[in-house]
Amino acid sequence: MSPAGHVLRTQAPLIHIADVHKSFGKTEVLKGVSLDVAKGEVICVIGPSGSGKSTLLRCINALVPIDRGSIVVDGQEVNDPRLDKLKLRRKVGMVFQQYNLFPHKTALQNVMMAPVHVLKQDAKEVEARARRLIAKVRLEGKEEFYPGELSGGQQQRVAIARSLAMNPEIMLFDEVTAALDPETVKEVLVTIRELAEEGMTCAIVTHEMGFAREVADHIYFTDRGVIVEHGAPKEFFTGAKDPRTRQFLSQIL
């Protein structure tokens, strides 16, 4: 089960998002989004395609700069020109829909690269950690394989291990199972659920409603750049009030 019971809402949230606006050209993708994520909390963001879910995640680790509003990650204002991106990004790991493993590096090298070259950690020590992480995502024996030799689900788990190698405090998952075969979706979801159970703070954009319901402490429904409705999974899935949410859920469930 998720550690929802242990979350103390009275603490300052680890991620504080307030009235965030973002436009790409003339298209306003985020129109004033606000949400908080406490330490150890798992939130899921669901909603129709193009509702700004992925953009919201990318704003949290400054892959996408925001136009207006504020995002504070562990006391660090992301929308600050003097932002120390390295400091922010070693704290926030991200996993993508398309895995984005580096194809010219083996699974082990993919996991080791950032700690060795970005954090300048000792290669021997990083290697030991990388092997542990690869074992943790159940890919023991695949260390020397290149991404092209692994299945989608295996690549995605290497990508999770790669992010974890930076010892992040927050993990962002951007539709990580959307590009996978139905059979391999489960192995990735199991890995994410284990992380959540260990107390990792997670922000998950997903279309897997069953998974969201099981793993999330809080669910946010976005549509056309705003959060339409949010709540604990139980209330959200059974007692959604907004007609847009209800329509979306009726199409999906």
Partner 1 sequence: MRRGVPNRAELPVLLPFRLAAPAERPPAFAPSLSWGLALAAVFALSVGAAEAQSGAGQPAILATIWKWAPLLAQGFALNIAISFLAMAIGTALGAPLGLCQISLLPPVRAGSWFVTQFFRNSPWLVLLFYCMLLLPFEVSVAGHIVPIPGWLKSTIGLSLPVMANVSELVRGAVRSIPYGQWEAADALAFSRRQILWMIILPQCVKRMTPPWMNLYAILTVATPLTSVVGVSEAMTLTRDALASEARSELLVPMYSLLLVAFFVYCYPISRATAALEKRFAVK
- What residue ranges bind partner 1 (CB under 8 A)? 61, 63, 85-86, 89-90, 92-94, 96, 98, 100-104, 113-114, 117-118, 148, 159, 162-163, 166
Give the list of residues 6+ apart from residue 43 with CB closer than 8 angstroms, or none: 35, 37, 202, 203, 204, 216, 217, 218, 219, 220
Helix, coil or strand: residue 136: helix
Minimum CB–partner distance for residue 80 and partner 1 (Å): 17
Minimum CB–partner distance for residue 28 and partner 1 (Å): 22
- Given the complex with partner 1, which of 16 and 162 has the nearer CB atom? 162
For the chain, the straight-line distance linking the first and the last C-alpha, in angstroms and rounded, comes to 22
- Given the complex with partner 1, which of 100 and 214 has the nearer CB atom? 100
- Given the complex with partner 1, which of 179 and 226 has the nearer CB atom? 179
Minimum CB–partner distance for residue 144 and partner 1 (Å): 18
Minimum CB–partner distance for residue 146 and partner 1 (Å): 10
Give strand ranges (E) for the chain. Answer: 15-24, 27-37, 42-46, 68-73, 76-77, 92-95, 170-174, 201-205, 218-223, 226-231
Minimum CB–partner distance for residue 235 and partner 1 (Å): 33
Give strand ranges (E) for 96-214. Answer: 170-174, 201-205
Tell me, what DSSP letter sits at residue 12? Answer: P
* Joined tokens for residue 238: 């059974």
